[in-house]
Amino acid sequence: MANVRNQKMLLIVNPVSGKKLAKQYMMRMINRFDQAGYNVTACCTQINKNAYDIVMNRAHQFDIVVCCGGDGTLKETVCGIMQLGLDIPIGYLPMGSTNDFAKSMGIPTDVHDAVEAIINGEPKPVDIGKFGEEFFIYVAAFGNFTAISYSCNQKLKNALGKNAYYMQAVADFFRMKPYHARVEADGEFFEGDYFYGAASNSYGIAGMPVLHNMGVEFDDGLHELILVNMFKNPMELLSLANDMVNKTVSDNPIVTIRHCKHIRFEFDDPTPFTLDGEFGGEHTSVEAATLKHAVKIMVQRPEWISLEENEEHDFVEEPHEA
């Protein structure tokens, strides 16, 4: 950023997200932002969804809002900024268990680099999903495996990272069932028994980087509709697993992928959705739409980078001296 002198920064810190490292880095972060010329006001989240409340109550007084925590903290911050209709940049210091969104976006997962990306980076316009009356950042999904993120306990997530999700996925495999749905995507209709369905704006889903080379962009005004038919036999499951590993999911005959602006999901029975890993309510009819360039997020690099496979950052190294 060219000149940040006297810019007012609201720094929202979730001290208990992910590996609880925010507290450890907080003074260094504030010191670095202060050195760079920001006038920093720091708040810690206290209860669930509190980052949203802090934004709603205070963000209108600031030039930039920076949140420090997991993807959930970022989501609360983005939802608050969207709700207020503010045109100010959002900075994200990712301290969650997997940080999928940060990696997908090119936001550094190293604390020092993430701080520098806010100070010296640039605001990138990013699309946000509207789901009914709510917002989502990277995925609104139904079906099997969607409950993984919020059913997987925090201690397990911290200890095992992505492996916690995979372990939960294996457990869920034995409980999987079909979800009958009717789906309309920009005028195209689909109906079937699905294993999984989603409106997505991400390379990775449930921590699995499966949508490479499929034209996913975060600022193209489009989401990806993903529908996976229920497996008819074990070979279909093995074939899909193989395509996920080889990043050739779009070639799999039981997978449908469309780039679209509006998606309507309809079900015979109320069906639970997950929004960015959190419970998103049960729906019989719900619309997902893309809000193009709805927010600006500070990023380090001029181009989006690819999600690095199996990258795991544990933040144990000492950050650079601020």
Residues of this chain that bind Mg ion (CB under 5 A): 201, 217, 220, 222
Nearest approach in angstroms of CB 26 to Mg ion is: 33
Instruction: Give min distance, CB of 216 to Mg ion, in A.
Output: 6
Give whichever of 293 and 313 is closer to Mg ion, judged by the CB atom. 293
Q: Computed from CA positions of residues 283, 289, 294, 295, in that sequence, does the dihedral angle turn out positive or negative?
A: positive
By beta-carbon proximity to Mg ion, the closer residue of 49 and 261 is 261
Of residues 193 and 217, the one with the C-beta less far from Mg ion:
217
| CB 104, min distance to Mg ion, A | 11
DSSP letter string, 96-133: SSS-HHHHHHT--SSHHHHHHHHHHSEEEEEEEEEETT
CA distances from 263 to 130, 250, 289 (A): 10, 19, 6
Note the Cα 289 to chain centre separation in Å: 16
Q: Which lies closer to Mg ion via its Cβ, residue 110 or residue 220?
A: 220
Distance CA 149, CA 164 (A): 9
- Which phi and psi (to 5°) does residue 105 adopt? -85, -15
Least separation in angstroms between residue 233's CB and Mg ion is 33
Q: For the chain, state the CA radius of gyration.
A: 19
Min CB(306)–Mg ion separation in Å? 15
Q: For the chain, give percent helix, strand, coil, nearest 5.
A: 30, 35, 35
Q: Which lies closer to Mg ion via its Cβ, residue 168 or residue 201? A: 201
